[in-house]
Amino acid sequence: MIGRIKSNPGLGALAEVLLLFTPAIPAYLWLWPAVEGTRWLTPVQFVVYLYFLVGSLVIGLRRWSLSQLGVNGRGIFLSLGCGLAFVLGRTLVLLGTSLWAGFRPIGLLHMAGDVLYYFVAVAVAEELLFRGVIYHALDTLKGPRLALWGSALAFGLYHVGVGGVLGFIAGLVSGVILGAIRLRGGGIVGPILVHGLIDVTAIEMAPEVTTWDFSHVAFPHPLLIAAGYLVIVGLLVFLWKLAPGGERAVSA
């Protein structure tokens, strides 16, 4: 088994990703909750994402080029169009619930901090890990179908520590959409921009909301919610059936 892992770049990369996450588990179980609401939260978050970024680069570049990991210029416009549709769908759903408390003044310094954190730290590190290393490793093993669903499942499990079961579901759905964008577009630069846009718009509209809050949410505007989910489902259909394939099409 060890010999097979060493000789297979996909298996070797996945094994090293598991090792990468092993010391990160305490960050979810102890460190992250311990610094929540303190001045140490932001430095700790940057250190954790730097750890993921460096680890992903070390694991990935030992076996593949940056272009193979998705760091290329392919599919950016397709990605941005799909990302805007996803943001529109999520926004409509949020506006239809009690989670949205109204428009708040936008502080330029605060917005700049959010953009720096969510685009540069979160989006780059998470996309390189999940839609870069994990996606490409699974693709080399069994093809794009396993790459899409496997990376989405990993992304969902990664968010369990943030929001439990609902965090898993939210991560899984986002992972499927971002994975489909990766598949159809052929790179991760577009998904990085989409990921950052999703996070920034969500945190600006409902900065205090976590996925745990959905157990107490009300739904005063069901038509907006229905319209939002219609947009998201339509996006998935478009990505699955209509958009041109980037690296290869999903087999039927």
The pLDDT of residue 114 is 84
Tell me, yes or no, whether 129 lies in a domain: yes
Tell me, yes or no, whether 37 lies in a domain: yes
83's tokens: 């990302």
Q: Which amino acid is at 99?
A: L
Looking at the structure of the chain, the number of domains it has is 1
The pLDDT of residue 249 is 42
Tell me, yes or no, whether 6 lies in a domain: yes
Q: Do 96 and 157 touch, CB atoms closer than 8 A? A: no
Q: Which amino acid is at 68?
A: Q
Q: Do 10 and 140 touch, CB atoms closer than 8 A? A: yes
Q: Is the predicted pLDDT of residue 147 greater than 80, yes or no?
A: yes
DSSP codes, 128-141? IIIIIIIHHHHHHH
What is the pLDDT averaged over residues 2-9?
Answer: 69
Give per-residue pLDDT as tens, 186-233: 999 999 999 998 888 877 776 555 555 555 677 888 999 999 999 999
Tell me, yes or no, whether 22 lies in a domain: yes
Tell me, yes or no, whether 233 lies in a domain: yes
Range of the domain at 177: 2-242
Q: Do 183 and 159 touch, CB atoms closer than 8 A? A: no
Tell me, yes or no, whether 179 lies in a domain: yes
The pLDDT of residue 188 is 95
Confidence of residue 43 (pLDDT cuts 50, 70, 90): confident
pTM of the model: 0.88
234's tokens: 């339509």
Q: What is the 3-state secondary structure (H, E, C) of 28-40?
A: HHHHHHHHCCCCC
- What percentage of residues in the chain have a pLDDT greater than 70? 84
Q: Do 43 and 153 touch, CB atoms closer than 8 A? A: no
Give per-residue pLDDT as tens, 90-128: 889 888 887 766 656 667 777 788 888 999 899 999 999
Tell me, yes or no, whether 90 lies in a domain: yes
Tell me, yes or no, whether 170 lies in a domain: yes
In angstroms, rounded to a whole number, what is the distance separating the alpha carbons of residues 205 and 209? 9
103's tokens: 């428009």
Q: Name the 3-class secondary structure at 158.
A: helix
